[in-house]
Structure formats: structure tokens, C-alpha cells
Structure 1
């Protein structure tokens, strides 16, 4: 993620801002330019100060306070590049549903920022693709029926609305022994399953993927039951990025994919802040890094990981100083780095 600033008053902005706190200008994100822009009305359209030669309109979900992205005026699109993938949203006449859906959309826009930067395919319904990317955001039935489960199936990503309840999400994280559970993490994990279909299955990369992640033809239901009955192997930290990654090759891929997006997005933000790490006690320089490159365009995974490891040591140390758990509660063994490298190379080849 980049740092943005208001074109009117130079106030630093968050990606989620809808109004500049400095000059009170309305703000909109221009995904075609990768810019957050102050905007002013021009009839039914808006002039973006970052691109005054064009005219824009807000995504239709802006009217529901659920999106701050814009679309070019006159193009016929009413939804932005992220929202046009929504197939089902909850009943937003319920204030609790509305609030949770707004949080879900915030996380989804951060996901799509990365997908656009990495130039990954994002087919939508109606464009003729056999497996378009669609999202269903579903609430549990009020009659206490079967609970909604977050998951992916042939291009359809379902996200349980209750994942936007921070208390319930933390209860689930603790109950399942997970180190990390966030809305953005869910999106990055589930989209990984989608891109396994695109970049591995459909691109003829099954054998090379199996050589690293294992054979995905292993019965998924049996693997899931075995994982919940017995837990991960005792030596899982020597080979996997998370305990859940040990469950099945598909989950190893999705966990590795999610971590790749975590790393790339966080490194871009660290670089935007000019962060450099150079501990005085580090005599041999192994913990030094200067994040002066675009991680989305790095040629080698080693460049990315060599910057990531010192950064995570620093931010984890800062969190501990505040009595907080580690911001990045994971270890990257060589086998996990090799999997990240495989994903990195597939994305570069696709571009």
C-alpha cells in the first residue's frame, strides 16, 4: 500500500478516507490511476484533482457508505473494479448487517489494490469467462439453521458476515489455535484458492506445483478430519508457513499465497514511509534493510524476503514493547520461502 495525500491541502490520507480531515474535500480512489484524489462536483459527475482532464462518478455502493472508489463517467459501469465482483450482499436494512458489510468491503478493497498492482486476472460475470470471480457475503439464518462457512468453490468466494464481528472472530481464532485471523487475511487466503485454479490448474503447472506443495488429489475431507483430530505434524514449523497449511496441499498453497500478499503490501507501505532497519547490535549486517524498491516488481523472491525478515523482527519487537502480541506471528523456514518463490514466479510469468 502507498501513502496518499490530498491534492488540495497536502494532508496525508488513509486508503479508507472519504473526506480529507484537513480541508474537508470529498475524496475518491481512482483505481485506473492508483491515486486517492480530492474531488469536486461537476453536475452529476465529479472532477478529480489528481486527473482533472477526466470526469468520474462514485461506485454505486458509495450511496450505502460502503465504497470510496470511482469509475470513469460515461463508461456505463455503475460499480467500481472491486464492487462489480459482488454477487450477494447481506440485508443492509439491518444496521448490524450494514456495519459488518462496510468492514468487509474495506478489507476487500485492500485485496483488490494488490490484485490490480500485481496485474492478476479478475474476470467478472457476463464477460464469457467459464469461472468468473464472484463474492457472496452471507449472514447466518435467523432461525438458527446451518451456519455460513467461509470458503471458495469454482470462482465463488463466500465470506461469513460474522467474520466482521471482532469478538466472535477472536473467539474463533483462540478456539481453533490460530496465530492470526482477520478479514483481510480471509480474503487473501480464499483468493489464493481462486488463483490456484487460474495459475496452476488452467496454466498447465500442476506437476511443478505438486513437487513443492504435494498432490492436491489427496482426499480433502479425509485430510480435514485428520487435521482436526490429530493437529499438525510435530515438525510443521520446519516446512510450512502455518499449522493450517499442513492440512492439505490446497491449504498450503492458499496460506502461502496469503502470506505473499501480506508481505508485498506491507513492504510497499514500509518503503513509502522510508523505513530502514539498521540495529546497532547487528555487527554483521544480517538484520539491515533499506526498503527502496517496489515489491510488486521485484525480480527475485530473495529481494523480498531479505527485506521482510528484518522488518518483521523490528515490528514484532515494537509490539512487544507495548505488551502486544507479535504483529507477524510466523516463521519462514526455507521450504516456505521456496513456496513463496514459486508463487512469485508464477505471478511474474502471468504478467
Structure 2
């Protein structure tokens, strides 16, 4: 998350601020400007090009702080939500803002990394949508299918999420983590398994055509392989190549977001821009940073912030995830040094785009 400041009084702001606590100015988030901007008493904002924007219609129901193109309309993040709780579902509606906040955080990060975010309202076949469902009266299974990510809103409650985490013996479970993992399945579907990256994908993750239900049954009956820590980021990743990729995708987003936030807050002594590969970024920045954050959490009597160990095999998988984004503009996407002339030219173009991304990120 970037460090935001009020354009009226220059006081620090945070991503979900709807008003400046210092000067009282009403605020909204502009996705186009990647900035928190002031709005007038009617919730309107005029951008540099003279275009008029309005606060999202879901400011009350979903605590949305974003701008929409039309008065009374939804912002681009809220438009991605295909289904939400009914108006008479008071429990589900109370849980909705937590999930929507995580989704907005995800969208901003996907934008920054260069991943396309196209909703099903724009592309009914290949687009992305979210069903944010209440499990008050029915069972909800978190997952992805054909571009639709389903989230159980009950997971917005800390006690429910912690109960499930303990039952499944997971080291980490958050609402944002769910969004990052499930959207990893979406980009696997859209950008990887049916494209030119499939051969490398199978070298790293395995054959994705292996039976998924059989893999689930085997995983929960037998558990992960004894040596899984040498090859996977989590026990869950061992279940199937789809889950391995989604777990690595989520961790790539964990790492990029946290490192960028640390840089914005002045917590790093070296710039992330100094690293041209994911491997170097993880070893040079992420490992010492996450170790320090874990120790800080322990000082407060809390569990580790990042309770994972990244083996060498997972570094290769993270580098692959970085290469998936169209144009390879994400940090670390340049990867290993190419040997063929066209590969060299492609790598140079990717590196140029990567540096442009980092400049935009810092700006």
C-alpha cells in the first residue's frame, strides 16, 4: 500500500479513509490516479481532464470509498461483485464490508503488477466476477470456476476463520489471502495452462490434467508427502498443480505488496528496484524483512506474520508467476539470463517495462 497524503492539508491518509481526520475533507479513491482525492459535499470529484466522478453507490452497504463514473453507480471494483447477500440478510450484509475491502486491496495490487482485471460484465466468457455469499442459511465453498470466485462471508469473522484454520492445520488464513489464492486460479486459467507457458508450468508444478477430485481425496486421506517442505510453499500446495500455482501466486502477491509497503513506509535500507529477479528480491529483501516482522510480532505476543519457509524450488515457481503477467512488467519477471537473440530482446523489453512499473509504483 502506498503512503497517501491529503491534497488539502497534506496530512497522512490510509487506503480506506473516506474523510481526512485532520481537516475534515471528504475523500474517495481514484483507481485511475491511484490516489485518494478530495470530493465536494455532493460526493463529486473533477479530474485533471475535466471528467466528473461520483462516490460509489455502495459507500454505505459495502463501506466502499472508491469513485464511480456515473452518479448513483458502482465503482469498477464493486462492479466485479456478481452476487452479494440479500437486503434482509443482516448477518451477511454486516460481513460484506470486510470482503469488499479485501477485494479492493486485491484490485489495486493487480493493477500495479500489470495483471488485467476484466469483469464478466465486460466479457461474459473470460471475465472475472465474485460471488460474495452468506452462509447463514446454506453451505458456501470457497473456490473458483470459469472466472467466478466464490467467497464465504462468514470468514470475515476472526473467530470463524481461526476455527477453520486450526481444524485444517493451516499456518495462515485471512480474507485477503483467500482472494489472492482464488484469483490465482483465474489467472492460471486465463494466462497459463492453455498458452505457450504450459510446458514450463508442467516442469515446475506438474501435469494439471491429473484428476482433481482424486487429488483432493488423496490429500485429505494421506496428507502431504514427507518431504513436501523441500518443494512446496505449503502442505495445501501439494494437493494438485492447480493448487500449487494458486498458492505461489498468492505468496507472490503477499511478498510484492508487503515489500512495496515497507519501502513506502521507509522501513527498507535498500530499494526493491535494485533487484532484477524474484529470487534476488526474496533473498535480499523478503527473507530479512519477514524475519524482522516475525520477531516484532513475537515481541507483541502474536504469531509470526509470515509463518512460511521458501525453499529453492519455490523460488523458481515464484519467478514463473512473475513471468505470467502479460508483458512481464511485474517485479522479477526478467528471471534467468536468456541465450537466444530474440529471448534477449524480449528480456530487454520486459526489463524496461519492469523499471517503468517500479517508477510508477514509487510515484
Regarding TM over 0.5, the answer is yes
Query: How many Å apart are 1:52 and its aligned residue?
Result: 8.6
Separation of aligned partners in 1, 2:6 and 2:63? 21
Quote the RMSD (CA, aligned, Å): 2.0
Is this contact kept in 2: 1:241–1:331, CA < 8 A?
yes
* Cα contact 1:264–1:304 (8 A) shared by 2: no
**Alignment TM-score, normalising by the size of structure 2:** 0.85
Q: Call closer, same or farther: CA 1:258–1:128 in 2, change over 3 Å.
A: closer
Quote the residue 1:158 is aligned against. Answer: 150
Partners of 1:274 and 1:231 lie apart in 2 by: 42
Displacement after TM superposition at 1:17 (Å):
1.3
Q: 1:265 aligns with which of 246, 257, 272?
A: 257
Measured after TM superposition, the shift of residue 339 of structure 1 is 0.2
Q: In structure 2, how many angstroms separate the alpha carbons of the residues matched to 1:329 and 1:214?
A: 25
- Deviation track 1:304-323 (CA, whole Å, cap 9, x = no partner) reads 21211110011011111111
Q: Which of the numbers 307, 332, 350 marks the counterpart of 1:329? A: 307
CA deviation after TM superposition for structure 1 residue 51, in Å? 4.8
Q: How far, CA to CA, are the matches of 2:15 and 2:183 in structure 1? A: 21
1:61 alignment counterpart: 58
Which structure dedicates a bigger proportion of its chain to strand? 1
Range with bigger deviation, 216-225 or 85-94: 85-94
Residue 304 of structure 1 pairs with residue 296 of structure 2: no
SS in 1 for 2:304: coil
Segments of structure 1 that go 5 or more residues without pairing to the other structure are 277-289
What residue in structure 1 maps to residue 45 of structure 2? 47
- Return the alpha-carbon distance in structure 2 between the equivalents of residues 112 and 202 of structure 1: 24
8 A contact 1:210–1:216 mirrored in 2: yes
Per-residue deviation at 1:204?
2.7
| CA shift for structure 1 position 53 | 4.5
User: Counterparts of 1:1-351 in structure 2 under 5 Å?
Assistant: 1-41=1-41, 46-47=44-45, 51=48, 53-72=50-69, 78-128=73-123, 130-140=125-135, 142=137, 145=138, 147-276=139-268, 290-293=269-272, 299-305=276-282, 306-347=284-325, 349-351=327-329
In structure 2, what is the Cα distance between the partners aligned to 1:219 and 1:31? 40
For residues 172 and 65 of structure 1, the distance between their equivalents in structure 2, rounded to whole angstroms, comes to 25
Contact kept in structure 2, 1:45 and 1:73, CA below 8 Å: no
- For residues 209 and 49 of structure 2, the distance between their equivalents in structure 1, rounded to whole angstroms, comes to 53
CA separation of 1:126/1:324 partners in 2, compared to 1, >3 Å: closer, same or farther? closer
Judge conservation of contact 2:232–2:238 (CA < 8 Å) in 1. Answer: yes
Contact 1:45/1:55 (<8 A) preserved: no
Separation of aligned partners in 1, 2:303 and 2:320: 30
Where structure 2 has 5 or more consecutive residues not aligned to the other structure, the ranges are: 330-363
Deviation string 1:110-166 (CA, Å, 9 cap, x unpaired) is 000111112212222243452210110111252xx5x11000001011001211121
CA distance, structure 2, for counterparts of residue 346 and residue 94 of structure 1: 39
4+ residue runs over 6 A deviation: none
Measured against aligned partners, the alpha-carbon deviations of 1:167-188 in whole angstroms (never above 9, x if no partner) come to 1110000110000000000000
Q: 1 CA distance for matches of 2:270 and 2:86? A: 43
